Amino acid sequence: METTIIEVRGVKMELDMRTASLQRVDTFKVGDKVKVLKKVASYSDDWESCPGIIVGFDAYRDSPTIIIAYVSSKEVKLLHINSKTKDVEIVMANENDFEALEKANVVDFMNREIQNAELKVEELKYKKDYFLKFFGQYYKPEDVKREA
């Protein structure tokens, strides 16, 4: 028999080295910087590593979940990780893992996205006004007021 005695926090244990296994145990808390390794697409073998922050934990009885905000392609996304999550792994990040993430670039990207969305809203408002002005004559006045 191939056994070894080890001590963990003052407790001595005898382990059978033929069947002993090593498991990584990580401790995370809200606000921790992490790196998210995720599969780019289910049909490919490409992986992407993204910087993230743990923003919360949901203590569901059957499926406790870690909530992570991460940046992928200058877009902030949320990731929910639990025992059923596939093709995702997280590890603690180092300080220099976030150096490549330029705050100004991400904020500029988001500002452009906001402007594009605002332009889309203005375009839809214009189309609605156009419809009501030129097609509204085919409807009863109360129908047009209700739609405005």
Parse the chain into domains and list their residue ranges. 25-98, 102-148
Q: How confident is the model at residue 141 (pLDDT cuts 50, 70, 90)?
A: low
Which range (56-60, 128-132, 134-138) has the least confidence? 134-138
25-98 CATH pick, 1.20.1380, 3.10.450, 2.30.30, 3.40.1130: 2.30.30
Cα 58 off chain centre by? 14
Dump pLDDT digits (tens) for 36-49.
Answer: 998 887 787 889 88
CA triplet 85, 91, 94: central angle to 5 degrees? Answer: 150
| pLDDT for the residue numbered 118 | 97
| pLDDT for the residue numbered 126 | 95
| pLDDT for the residue numbered 122 | 96
- H runs (alpha helix) in 2-102: none
